[in-house]
């Protein structure tokens, strides 16, 4: 059987590495794309190809069956200065445009492009439970909401050349040792953990294992296209998260942080990422038969703390 070739963009990130490990290598050959060819050769010695952006732009579109684009600078890595906002925009739109340009040369390429639950807007209350059909029901505008709109629009341009497109509307990705969860544990380990603001804002989250499994599922079920919510069905409020994390760590969780302190310390980033949230439900994945390994925040945090 002839193997199909997949290109994973941003492969050295947490999700990319996890995905690479679970893709069926008897069915697929994997090319990896990123900034450092040397690092990719070290992390993925058995990949069929290791390319930087120039190499990927010049590669043969006919070689690819699927492009999985996970590229984009971290939204919580730096304070949101005007300069860093532009970095977040350019890293997402620029990478997506390269993928779309390759798609234009081969209409058989299936594009799976990263996105985020920011597409649904930001709320201080539970509000509505959004499914993939509800983007138009959102309220207000925010930087990340506008960024996601433009990012998804850039990816959907591939449909004009006949390519199928998936938009991965991903929630907060949790891992026991990397990403936001270890940072979120710090105040609890210092005995000052608790809810943020009212605690009623929703957290739509997903474990890194389930995120990679969901992408792998979409790789094998290419009839699923358009927006796909990559979030656990067990979205929780910030207060529920704080209580579960404190219990998992064996630490108190009754020291609330006022919203204004987050906004003063972190500005717009703190307001959009911490003080507000959205309730997002993975209807398409569940309807298609995908089974989440981690469905409640309490069970996941108990496992993550034990593992970490």
Q: Which of 178, 246, 244 is nearest to 211 (CA)?
A: 178
d(CA 98, CA 247): 45
Chain-centre distance of CA 298, in angstroms? Answer: 21
What sign does the CA torsion over 69, 75, 240, 190 have? Answer: positive
What is the domain partition of the chain in residue ranges?
A: 4-238+267-307
pLDDT tens over the chain, length 308 residues: 789 999 999 999 999 999 999 999 999 999 999 999 999 999 999 999 999 999 999 999 999 999 999 999 999 888 999 999 999 999 999 999 999 999 999 999 999 999 999 999 999 988 889 999 998 888 878 999 999 999 999 999 999 999 999 999 999 999 999 999 999 999 999 999 999 999 999 999 999 999 999 999 999 999 999 999 999 999 999 999 999 999 999 999 999 999 989 988 899 999 999 999 999 999 999 999 999 999 999 999 999 999 87
Query: What is the model's pTM?
Result: 0.97
Chain segment 192-213, per-residue pLDDT in tens:
999 999 999 999 999 999 999 9
The architecture of the domain spanning 4-238+267-307 is 3-Layer(aba) Sandwich (3.40)
């Amino acid at each position: 059987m002839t193997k199909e070739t997949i290109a994973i963009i941003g492969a050295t990130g947490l999700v990319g590495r996890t995905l690479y490990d679970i893709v069926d290598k008897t069915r697929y050959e994997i090319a990896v794309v990123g900034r450092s060819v040397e690092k990719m050769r070290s992390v993925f010695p058995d990949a069929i190809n290791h390319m930087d952006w120039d190499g990927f732009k010049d590669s043969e579109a006919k070689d690819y069956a699927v492009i999985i684009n996970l590229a984009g600078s971290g939204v919580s890595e730096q304070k949101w200065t005007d300069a860093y906002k532009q970095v977040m925009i350019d890293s997402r739109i620029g990478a997506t445009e390269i993928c779309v340009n390759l798609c234009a040369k081969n209409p058989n390429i299936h594009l799976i492009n990263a996105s985020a639950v920011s597409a649904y807007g930001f709320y201080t209350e539970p509000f509505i439970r959004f499914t993939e059909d509800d983007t138009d029901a959102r309220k207000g505008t925010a930087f990340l909401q506008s960024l996601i709109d433009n990012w998804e629009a850039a990816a959907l341009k591939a449909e004009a050349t006949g390519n199928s497109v998936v938009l991965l509307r991903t929630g907060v990705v949790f891992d026991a040792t990397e990403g936001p969860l270890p940072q979120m544990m710090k105040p609890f380990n210092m005995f000052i953990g608790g809810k943020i603001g009212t605690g009623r804002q929703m957290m739509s989250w997903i474990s890194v294992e389930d995120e990679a499994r969901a992408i792998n599922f979409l790789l094998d079920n290419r009839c699923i296209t358009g927006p796909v919510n990559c979030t656990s069905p067990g979205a929780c409020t910030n207060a529920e998260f704080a209580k579960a994390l404190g219990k998992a760590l064996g630490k108190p969780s009754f020291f609330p942080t006022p919203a204004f302190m987050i906004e003063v310390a972190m500005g717009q980033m703190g307001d959009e990422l911490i003080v507000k949230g959205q309730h997002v439900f993975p209807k398409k994945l569940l309807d298609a038969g995908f089974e989440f390994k981690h469905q409640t925040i309490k069970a996941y945090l108990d496992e993550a703390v034990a593992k970490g």
